[in-house]
Amino acid sequence: CDVSNAAEIDAELKRASDAVGEIDVLVTCAGASTPGRFLVQSPDDAERTMRGNFFGTMYPTRAYARRMVRLGRRGRICMVSSAAAFMTFVGYASYAPSKFAIRGLAETLRNELLPYDIAVHVLYPPDTETPGYENENKTKPAECIEISKQGTVMTARDVASTMLRGLDAGDFHIACELGSKVLVALGNAVAP
């Protein structure tokens, strides 16, 4: 299903609920990055990234939240953002804004969905060993490659384990490693 297509999401959520019962936890993990220089990339690159990353998070979140409210059921939503939602650098002009937007959506919905007993969480993984990360490395500018070498690369399993621990603890912000934890703490010094 195309997570950036609202109509497809509504139909898929209904199919999934019919097949396995109501969904207690929604994890939105749509994401892709094609790093490149801002002055070289086309506006289409940014639109494609925003469509997949942000709208690919917003549409499932909206469909799920509306369904839970309509059914009078509690629920939990975990949106996968990125450490790039707190700090970014050369090469991520199309990617980082989409992850900032997810963070903003999570912060907004955290309060808005509270009266409906729908908890919202946001995960900030660092670089993660996935096929998408392998593709991302193919277009990174040289400076971006050097900066990335200084950071942490986690396995998808370790990121998932961190997410589950954060969900079990009821954490709103779920950071995966020390660098992200520091960014989250500093970035939220004045946030609600």
Active-site residue list: 81, 95, 99
Closest CA to 73 of 27, 17, 30: 17
Closest CA to 119 of 188, 82, 54, 174: 174
Strands 127-129 and 25-28, sheet pairing: unpaired
**CB count, 10 Å around CB of 115?**
8
Tokens of residue 98, six digits? 């989409």
User: What element of type H or E holds 190?
Assistant: none
C-alpha angle 93-34-159 in degrees, rounded to nearest 5: 95
Task: Round to whole Å and give the CA distance between 190 and 57.
Answer: 25
Burial of 133 (0-12, 13-18, 19+ CB in 10 A): middle
Beta strand ranges found along the chain (DSSP E): 25-28, 75-80, 118-124, 127-129, 153-155, 173-175
